[in-house]
């Protein structure tokens, strides 16, 4: 089984080319691949597959647990306030990003991952830039590559859902529940983001997100400049999170009284793994940052022992 390894501001992924949709990925195998001591090590897996090979993929449930995620679970993405069937929208995209968290669970969207996904396809000659639509479980996302190698993703409209609350270590933090195609609770704080224990945050409210959400702590450090740390649902503490950066910028825009603008002003978002740029908006949020492919190789046959016979045959 061939693989590649890539990252976007330190948010790293194992990329599995499966163009014709022949590979059967179990949660256990994904978790083994992502294990940093016994596997390759990653925050998640990006399976690269033609949309036509998995016609139901864009409408799969990602295991969402509450009303705030119901639209995503039903294969519906919200953009510009209009519900669009992800299955219908994906028809225009040749490629589907089957993203799995490090624990093997399915995820709706990954802003850093989709940039790495596009970088891989372009490098392999499987797609041409500078613009590439990618089907995801939260709808089609368009990625644009600039001459300087930066990738910009139209993340669709973000939505502020309600006030929320999370316990992080010995701190009780207030935040905003925000949807970026997947669920977030972004907490504006005045202390450095490194002062908050995000090892195992527990979302207390709203009730729709207590089943699991990405949690961000955000501090304004300058004019339209923030720092952010994140605990990703299904992956834990990561060096960066694309959708989390959008949620953080949304929370900062709300704090600055700018959220009602039709087009969001750009925010510089510093994460432990680097720097991203986000223009948050309820209509269309733009995320810009780098994407790197750092290695490629082949998984050993002994490592694949847990695969089903059909998947093993397809990978040989």
Active site (catalytic) residues: 110, 241
Asked if 102 and 236 count as a contact pair (C-beta separation under 8 A), the reply is yes
Which residues, in sequence order, are CB contacts of 290 under 8 Å at separation 6+?
Answer: 8, 9, 115, 149, 150, 151, 274
User: At 90, is the secondary structure helix, strand, or coil?
Assistant: helix
Q: Where are the beta strands (DSSP E) in 40-199?
A: 44-50, 76-79, 82-85, 95-101, 131-136, 139-145, 151-154, 159-168, 171-179, 183-188
Which residues, in sequence order, are CB contacts of 186 under 8 Å at separation 6+?
Answer: 175, 176, 178, 216, 218, 244, 247, 248, 250, 251
User: At 67, is the secondary structure helix, strand, or coil?
Assistant: helix
Report whether the peptide linkage leading into residue 130 is cis, meaning its omega lies within 30 degrees of zero. yes
Task: Tell me the H-state helices in the chain.
Answer: 27-34, 70-73, 86-89, 111-123, 242-255, 309-315
* One-letter-per-residue 3-state SS of 208-251: HHCCCCEEEEEEEEECCEEEEEEEECCCEEECCCHHHHHHHHHH
Length of the chain: 316
Nearest alpha-carbon partner for 251 in 171, 166, 158: 158
């Amino acid at each position: 089984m061939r693989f590649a390894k890539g990252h976007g501001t330190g948010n790293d992924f194992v990329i599995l080319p499966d163009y014709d949709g022949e590979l059967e990925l179990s949660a256990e195998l994904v978790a083994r691949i992502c294990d940093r001591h016994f596997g390759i090590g990653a925050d998640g897996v990006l399976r690269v597959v033609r949309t036509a090979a998995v016609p139901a993929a864009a409408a799969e449930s990602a295991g969402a647990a509450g009303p705030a995620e119901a639209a995503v679970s039903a294969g519906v993405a919200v953009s510009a306030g209009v519900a669009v069937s992800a299955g219908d929208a994906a028809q225009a995209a040749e490629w589907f990003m089957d993203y799995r968290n490090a624990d093997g669970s399915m995820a709706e969207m990954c802003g850093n991952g989709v940039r790495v996904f596009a970088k891989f396809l372009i490098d392999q000659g499987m797609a041409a830039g500078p613009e590439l639509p990618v089907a995801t479980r939260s709808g089609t996302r368009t990625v644009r590559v600039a001459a300087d190698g930066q990738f910009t993703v139209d993340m669709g409209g973000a939505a502020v859902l309600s006030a929320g609350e999370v316990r992080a270590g010995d701190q009780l933090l207030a935040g905003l529940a925000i949807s970026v195609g997947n669920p977030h609770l972004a907490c504006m704080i005045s202390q450095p983001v490194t002062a908050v224990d995000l090892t195992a945050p527990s979302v207390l409210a709203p009730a729709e997100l207590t089943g699991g959400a990405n949690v961000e702590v955000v501090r304004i450090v300058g004019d339209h400049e923030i720092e952010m740390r994140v605990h990703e649902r299904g992956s834990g503490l990561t060096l960066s999170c694309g959708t989390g950066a959008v949620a953080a910028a949304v929370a900062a825009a709300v704090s600055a009284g700018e959220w009602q603008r039709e087009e969001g002003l750009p925010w510089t978002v510093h994460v432990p793994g680097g720097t991203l740029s986000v223009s948050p908006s309820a209509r269309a949020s733009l995320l810009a940052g780098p994407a790197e492919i750092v290695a490629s190789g082949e998984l050993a046959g002994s490592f694949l022992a847990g695969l089903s016979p059909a998947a093993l045959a397809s990978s040989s």
